[in-house]
């Protein structure tokens, strides 16, 4: 999976999303060169979900079926 910035340039290439105890670990490379492992804590995941409204949640689900 790749994440792009506002100018459609590759920001991060995600190689793995895995569980590590109570955390979600996202491993990949930033700017195609720097290896990185980011941890998402449960409280931060809840905070992220609070930012989503119903329309945005539906859009995220619909992304799975788009080309």
- Count Cα atoms within 13 angstroms, Cβ side, for 35: 1
pTM of the model: 0.75
**Any idea of the CA torsion for 8, 39, 48, 13, to the nearest 10 degrees?**
20
| Buried/exposed 33-60: b ≥16 CB within 10 Å, e otherwise | eeeeeeeeeeeeeeeeeeeeeeeeeeee
Mean pLDDT of the chain: 94
pLDDT category, 4, cuts 50, 70, 90?
very high
The number of distinct structural domains making up the chain is: 1
Domain with 47 in it: 2-63
């Amino acid at each position: 999976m790749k994440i792009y910035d506002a100018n459609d340039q590759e920001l991060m290439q995600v190689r793995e999303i895995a569980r590590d105890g109570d955390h979600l670990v996202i491993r990949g490379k930033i700017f195609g060169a720097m290896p990185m492992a980011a941890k998402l804590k449960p409280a931060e995941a809840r905070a992220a979900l609070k930012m989503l409204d119903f329309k945005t949640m539906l859009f995220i689900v619909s992304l799975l079926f788009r080309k």
